Amino acid sequence: MTTTKKVPAYAAQSATSGLAPLSIMRREPSPEDVEIEILFCGICHSDLHSVRNEWSEFMATNYPIVPGHEIVGRVTRVGSAVTKFKAGDVAAVGCMVDSDGTCPQCKAGLEQFCPNMILTFNSPDKHLGGFTYGGYSGGIVVDEHFVLRVPFNLNLAGAAPLLCAGITTYSPMHHWGVTKGKKVGVVGLGGLGHMAVKFAHALGAHVVVFTTSPNKKEDALRLGADEVVVSRNADEMKKHAGSFDFILDAVSADHDINAYINLLGIDGNLTLVGAPAKPLSVPAFGLIARRRSFSGSMIGGIPETQEMLDFCGKHNITADVEVIPIQKVNEAYERLLKSDVKYRFSIDMASLKSE
Ligand SMILES: [Zn+2]
Ligand SMILES: [Zn+2]
């Protein structure tokens, strides 16, 4: 029988309840496990979608739900077979906590595409039954393979969002060969977009940010953009026609994707990391005429997530965060809906102790 330990958390009991304190159980570390005291957890838009059961058609929420998959903390205990971590280390956990380890995707380090991948929250928990609980909690116990090392120089509150927003934007840039001399577009300057700008800039690309709000221009330049285009301005858009190597589209609202496909050069690629609810309409000639491609991407595998964190350590990259106590989480969700945050909330988990 698995023994357990009680930890404080914040959970939602229904799609409309909001988040409130709840004690949850974590397993005692098995030989392969790392036990982590959570210091910071970022707030991702998918936390909000899951809490409110907005993705019910393909991933219904099981209540109570403890969201959070941008986790940074300190190792408190390790199992006897753990080799990469010891008590006192700073460690991180992202969107996944397990996979089968045997399928071709796992063998290739692409655990995010494993048919048996277990998400950090709202996935079946094979150890304790019920469903996995995420990072809005005091601690978590995770198989060593899914625990990441955090470079010592990074600010921990700002490092937390790297575990989802960071890898989600780094992985497609890596895959599509963003390097020095490439022209890269970033559509939408939010939690994902602002990370994309930092990565593309650090990789040496010429970075162009597309935004609907002219007042974001200064901030985009500060984050590392070389140019800012107001996407509502047709003349400005036309100037860039057929010139991009790669465009990352981080917009989840309904929008005209073809306006961006037309900006790609020969063999250019546009990758979606946002998830608009309605199907997008793409005319074939937009792709055929210049051998353009249109693709999607979802987080990244464990080896690539570690590579991304190491890259962030080398270039001193973290997310721009507003640190909040857990007691402000419901308010933060409302502000997230209005894009009223620059550019990610990071919850200081020390605040859980005052519950
Ligand atoms: Zn996320
Ligand atoms: Zn697998």
User: pLDDT by residue (tens digit) across 231-258?
Assistant: 999 999 999 999 999 999 999 888 899 9
CB neighbours of residue 225 within 10 Å = 27
Cα 241 to its chain centre, rounded Å, is 30
Q: Is 6 exposed, middle or buried (0-12, 13-18, 19+ CB in 10 A)?
A: exposed
- Give which of 268, 233, 217 is closest to 247, Cα–Cα: 268
Are the beta carbons of 267 and 292 closer than 8 angstroms?
Answer: yes
What pLDDT, on a 0 to 100 scale, did the predictor assign at position 231?
93
Distance 166 CA to ligand 1 centre (A): 9
- Give which of 154, 206, 211 is closest to 179, Cα–Cα: 206
What pLDDT, on a 0 to 100 scale, did the predictor assign at position 1?
56
Distance 122 CA to ligand 1 centre (A): 13
Ligand nearest to the CA of 70: 1
CB neighbours of residue 191 within 10 Å = 29
What pLDDT, on a 0 to 100 scale, did the predictor assign at position 213?
87
Ligand nearest to the CA of 112: 2
Distance from first CA to last CA of the chain, Å, rounded? Answer: 30
As residues whose CB is below 5 A from the ion ligand 2, the structure lists 99-100, 103, 106, 114
What pLDDT, on a 0 to 100 scale, did the predictor assign at position 55?
87
What pLDDT, on a 0 to 100 scale, did the predictor assign at position 117?
98
Ligand nearest to the CA of 106: 2
CB neighbours of residue 108 within 10 Å = 12
What are phi and psi for residue 295, nearest 5 degrees?
-145, 180
Are the beta carbons of 220 and 189 closer than 8 angstroms?
Answer: yes
Distance 118 CA to ligand 2 centre (A): 10
Residue 32 CA: distances (Å) to CA of 77, 100, 295: 11, 14, 36
- Give which of 353, 355, 348, 351 is closest to 42, Cα–Cα: 348
Q: Which residues of the chain have pLDDT under 50?
A: none
What pLDDT, on a 0 to 100 scale, did the predictor assign at position 217?
94
Residue position matching structure tokens 């977009």: 193
Distance 355 CA to ligand 1 centre (A): 26
Distance 295 CA to ligand 2 centre (A): 22
Ligand nearest to the CA of 191: 1
Q: Which amino acid is at 134?
A: G
Handedness of CA 296, 301, 304, 308 (dihedral sign): positive
